[in-house]
């Protein structure tokens, strides 16, 4: 058997990533599950601090002494005492570099697969239920041989990894004061029948005015290590990165 690679390329821009997605908060009086946020750049990029409950601080140590200024919609004050009093509210970090307040909560995305027959001769469809953008055919030959117009789990993983990496990389650079003019990421996911996914190769090309080669490479490696999809794929032993500043 031979290994098979599946590739996905993602192109993005800072304007696309740092969109101002402001939403309404739940009311603390009614026990709403919404969380009050102060935007910040954490050491690990996107989503680096999980929300905490009453009495547990989720700020990093170097921000622990910072005054609390965030307020939920409706004007409820949240100094340290206010934070302790509102058990339904918690702090978290979201990936926006704006000096505004946001509300956010965990999101879930759903896909469904319908399969008929055995592994080698059967076939199925994958539906992207959350976005409703499409339903795609899947089968074993598309994984182990040639795609022939049919997708595979590895191609879907490549799509997730390349897009997540692009967002994390752009966000990290924005936090350092750089504007990303263009960022193109390709993910090649290799599947070895009988073994599984044996490797992922990330290739990124970016145009970032004013950024040195050294800082670019450091930011690229940081995004590789800390983007949420990279972390979810930690079981893949061989994930490589080739980054080029253009």
Q: Is residue 103 part of a domain?
A: no
| Residue 245 and residue 204 in contact, taking contact as beta carbons nearer than 8 Å | no
Q: Is residue 101 part of a domain?
A: no
Give the tens place of pLDDT for each residue, 177-225.
Answer: 999 999 999 999 999 999 999 999 999 999 999 999 999 999 999 999 9
Cα atoms found within 13 Å of the Cα of residue 9, Cβ hemisphere only: 5
Structure confidence at residue 217 (pLDDT):
98
Where does residue 133 rank: exposed (0-12), middle (13-18), buried (19+ CB within 10 A)?
exposed
Structure confidence at residue 4 (pLDDT):
66
Q: Is residue 100 part of a domain?
A: no
Determine which helix (DSSP H) or strand (DSSP E) holds 36, and give its type and residue range.
strand 35-37
Mean of all residue pLDDT scores within the chain: 74
Structure confidence at residue 8 (pLDDT):
59
Structure confidence at residue 179 (pLDDT):
94
First to last CA, the chain: 38
DSSP 62-131: GGTTSPP----TT----SHHHHHH-TT------S---SS-EEE------EEEEEES-TTT-EEEEEETTT
Return the CATH number at 239.
3.30.300.20
Are 26 and 120 part of one and the same domain? no
Are 83 and 171 part of one and the same domain? no
Query: Which domain does 166 fall in, by range?
Result: 4-17+108-245
pLDDT tier at 104 (50, 70, 90 boundaries)?
A: confident
Inform me whether the pLDDT recorded for 156 exceeds 60: yes
Beta strand 196-207 with 239-245 is parallel
Are 134 and 172 part of one and the same domain? yes
- The last residue of one of the domains, among 60, 95, 130, is 95
| Residue 92 and residue 39 in contact, taking contact as beta carbons nearer than 8 Å | no
The pair phi, psi for residue 213, each rounded to 5°, is -60, -40
Euclidean distance between CA atoms 191 and 151, whole angstroms = 13
Q: Is residue 167 part of a domain?
A: yes
Number of domains the chain contains? 2
- The last residue of one of the domains, among 45, 74, 95, is 95
Q: Is residue 166 part of a domain?
A: yes
- The last residue of one of the domains, among 95, 125, 156, is 95
Are 70 and 129 part of one and the same domain? no
Give the tens place of pLDDT for each residue, 24-50.
Answer: 344 333 344 333 333 344 434 444 333
Helix-then-strand count for the chain, H and E: 6, 9
pLDDT tier at 71 (50, 70, 90 boundaries)?
A: very low
Higher pLDDT, 70 or 245: 245
- Reduced to 3 states, what is the DSSP secondary structure of residue 10? strand
Euclidean distance between CA atoms 109 and 107, whole angstroms = 7
Cα atoms found within 13 Å of the Cα of residue 169, Cβ hemisphere only: 36
Structure confidence at residue 7 (pLDDT):
66
Are 130 and 228 part of one and the same domain? yes
Are 91 and 145 part of one and the same domain? no
Question: Stretch 235-245: mean pLDDT, rounded?
Answer: 97
Are 26 and 10 part of one and the same domain? no
Are 120 and 188 part of one and the same domain? yes
| Residue 3 and residue 192 in contact, taking contact as beta carbons nearer than 8 Å | yes
């Amino acid at each position: 058997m031979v290994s098979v690679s599946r590739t996905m390329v993602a192109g993005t821009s800072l304007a696309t990533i740092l969109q101002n997605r402001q939403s309404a908060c739940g009311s603390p009086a009614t026990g709403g599950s919404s969380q009050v946020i102060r935007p910040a750049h954490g050491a690990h990029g996107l989503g680096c601090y999980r929300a905490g409950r009453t009495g547990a601080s989720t700020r990093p140590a170097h921000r622990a002494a910072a005054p609390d200024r965030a307020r939920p919609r409706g004007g409820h004050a949240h100094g340290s005492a206010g934070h302790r009093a509102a058990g339904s509210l918690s702090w978290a970090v979201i990936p926006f570099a704006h000096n505004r307040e946001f509300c956010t909560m965990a999101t879930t995305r759903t896909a469904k697969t319908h399969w008929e027959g055995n592994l080698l001769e059967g076939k199925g469809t994958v539906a992207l239920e959350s976005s409703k953008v499409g339903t795609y055919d899947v089968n074993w030959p598309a994984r182990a041989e040639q795609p022939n117009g049919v997708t595979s789990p590895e191609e879907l993983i490549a799509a997730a990894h390349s897009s997540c990496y692009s967002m994390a990389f752009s966000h990290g650079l924005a936090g350092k004061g750089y504007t990303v003019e263009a960022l193109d990421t390709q993910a090649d996911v290799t599947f070895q029948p009988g073994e599984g996914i044996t490797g992922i190769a990330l290739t990124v090309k970016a145009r970032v005015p004013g950024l040195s080669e050294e800082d670019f490479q450091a930011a690229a490696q940081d995004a590789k290590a800390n983007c949420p999809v990279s972390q979810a794929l930690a079981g893949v032993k061989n994930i490589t990165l080739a980054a080029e500043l253009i």
